[in-house]
Every structure is written in C-alpha cells, then in structure tokens.
Structure 1
Amino acid sequence: MNRDSRYLESVLHHDIPLTREMGLKVLSWQDHQLRLHLPLAANINHKSTLFGGSLYCGAVLAGWGWLHMRLREAGVEDGHIVIQEGHISYPLPVTQDAIVLCDAPADAAWSKFLTMYKRYGRARLSLDTRVINAEGADDAVRFTGQYVLHR
C-alpha cells in the first residue's frame, strides 16, 4: 500500500465510519485507477454471497474516492463531493472477497468538470465503477454514479 492509498483509507475510515465496519481497504491509487477491497466475511448475506447493499456502498465509495484523489492531484481542496444519482446492476453473484475498481472518465469529461467547477463553484461528473470477485475477471457489479462537487 502506498502513501496515497493509506491517505485515502484514513479519510474514508474517519469521515465515513461505516467503511471500517465493512472492512473496506484501499488497495491502490495508480494511473488514475482506484482499487478497493471489500471482504466477504464482513459483508456476507443469508445466501453466503456479498450483500447487495454493501456492494452498492462499495461502488459509490470507489467513485467518491476516485474523485477525492483526482481533485487532490489537481490542487482542488475547497469542494464537497456528494453522490447525486446512481444506477447499478448485479449480473453475477459475488461469492468471495470483492475488488471494486473505478477508472478515469474521458479526458474531455474531466476537463469540462474542472472548468465548470472553477467557473461556477459547482460541477457534475459521471463515473463508472465495477466489482469483480477477487479471483475473477468478469464484472459482477456495474455502477454508474453522478457525483456533484460544490463549494
């Protein structure tokens, strides 16, 4: 775990205490991709799979964490990030620990987001998150979230 990962995990565990109970860990922040770990044991349901609510929370947090880290790199530290809207699908069960991934949006979308925030003090960005089983490659969960940054 590098310094950026430790920093984000500390922020999440302090500002969103639920993340501690979920056992959420930040695996990496590298090349504008955020990878989180969500353990099955702390989030198991009655079917011995990862609880859908925990998966939703992990997906939202991956987008929130991605935006937090990217804004930090851009030197933007005066805003508040909130999730405005989210859409999720669960094509496969998560039967083991989960890896939650959030990749960068298109460069044009990021540039427009920063320009809007600097100009108006408010901007929206859509981020895609996916969840895979720790030993798998196929998307078990797909999430698209609309995040708002405001002063």
Structure 2
Amino acid sequence: MNTPAALNLEQLLHHDIPLTRDMGVKVIDWQDHRLRLHLPLAPNVNHKSTLFGGSLYCGAVLAGWGWLHLRLREAGVEDGHIVIQDGQISYPLPVRGDAIACCKAPEQAAWERFLATYQRRGRARLELHSVITAPDNDAEAVRFTGQFVVHR
C-alpha cells in the first residue's frame, strides 16, 4: 500500500539523489513508522551474481534517511537537512535476488529527545537501524546502524 507520503518520498529520492533512480529503488510502503524500500538485483548485480555490497550499503542508508525524512514531515519539521554522520554495516548473508531494506522506529523516548533537541538547538543526532532481507525470507542479510544528523 503506497501512501501519498511514500510516493512523494520515491519522487524526492529519484530527483535529489539520481543514483536511486539508476539503482531502481522503489518505496514499498510507509506504515506504522516503518519504511520499506525495494532494491532490485538486476541494476545492482556484482560479479558473483549477488547484490553489490555498495548498493546494499546505499539501500540501508536510504532506508534510514527516508525514515527520518518522513517522520520529520509528520512532526511538522520542514526546515531540516538530513545527513549521515556515521554508519556501521555487516553482511552476514549474500543477497541472491531482489531485496527489501527496512527501517523501523527507534524507541519513542529517543525520538522525543531527538525532536526536542532539534527544536531547541536547530541540530540533533539520531541512531537508526536498517536491515535488508529477501522478499520471501526474513533472515537478515544486512544489518546497518547509522547516526543521522539533522540541522537547519
């Protein structure tokens, strides 16, 4: 189910980050503060016929970036610029087909601290976690933790 917010995010990604268009990234859905992106194998395939590690990293970052973009809009924050400050990734399983990058909400208390800090100082940092799985399998092929910064 693609909501207007999800469709707008996909258009924004393809316009502002043209690589996402070339990668074939699609927004699957934005529900219950969970963002899911589709990463197709074909434009991201490597020499081993699996999804390229750089594309997986990009998909994991985009899931966090997109989550934060949508959540800020819901909170009425339209003046923030989102950047990734730091990221750690692990690749426990190869991805042999299309994949889904998913970012879920952090703890509510962390979100509230982040938002209050941003409103007070015009700058705040939030840790988000993304995972990448195959569409037919919940096994985590990729685990990502990123520090995202929003500033005015």
What range describes the TM-score normalised by the shorter chain of this pair?
Answer: over 0.9
SS in 1 for 2:138: coil
- Kindly state the Cα deviation for residue 4 of structure 1 after the two structures are TM-superposed: 1.5
- How far apart, in 2, do the equivalents of 1:106 and 1:46 lie? 39
Residue 121 of structure 2 aligns to which amino acid in structure 1?
Y
Report the counterpart of residue 29 of structure 1 in structure 2: 30
- How far apart, in 1, do the equivalents of 2:30 and 2:9 lie? 9
- How far apart, in 1, do the equivalents of 2:42 and 2:121 lie? 44
SS in 2 for 1:45: coil
SS in 2 for 1:100: strand
Q: Which runs of 5+ in 2 are unaligned?
A: none
Q: How does 1:123-138 map to 2 (within 5 A)?
A: 123-138=124-139
- Kindly state the Cα deviation for residue 142 of structure 1 after the two structures are TM-superposed: 0.1
- How far apart, in 2, do the equivalents of 1:5 and 1:39 lie? 18
Report the counterpart of residue 76 of structure 1 in structure 2: 77
- Kindly state the Cα deviation for residue 2 of structure 1 after the two structures are TM-superposed: 2.3
Residue 19 of structure 1 aligns to which amino acid in structure 2?
T
- How far apart, in 1, do the equivalents of 2:133 and 2:55 lie? 14
Report the counterpart of residue 59 of structure 2 in structure 1: 58
- Kindly state the Cα deviation for residue 133 of structure 1 after the two structures are TM-superposed: 1.2
Report whether the alignment pairs 1:5 with 2:6: yes
- Kindly state the Cα deviation for residue 3 of structure 1 after the two structures are TM-superposed: 1.3
Residue 19 of structure 2 aligns to which amino acid in structure 1?
L
TM-score (norm 1): 0.99
Q: How does 1:80-91 map to 2 (within 5 A)?
A: 80-91=81-92
- How far apart, in 1, do the equivalents of 2:73 and 2:3 lie? 16
Report whether the alignment pairs 1:109 with 2:102: no
- Kindly state the Cα deviation for residue 92 of structure 1 after the two structures are TM-superposed: 0.3
Q: How does 1:132-147 map to 2 (within 5 A)?
A: 132-147=133-148
- How far apart, in 2, do the equivalents of 1:40 and 1:59 lie? 15
Residue 5 of structure 1 aligns to which amino acid in structure 2?
A
Residue 114 of structure 2 aligns to which amino acid in structure 1?
F
Out of 2-11 and 122-131, give the one that drifted further.
2-11
Q: Deviations over 1:61-85 (max 9, x none)?
A: 0000000000000000011000000
TM-score (norm 2): 0.98
Q: Percent identity?
A: 69
- How far apart, in 2, do the equivalents of 1:101 and 1:60 lie? 10
Residue 149 of structure 1 aligns to which amino acid in structure 2?
V
- Kindly state the Cα deviation for residue 137 of structure 1 after the two structures are TM-superposed: 1.0
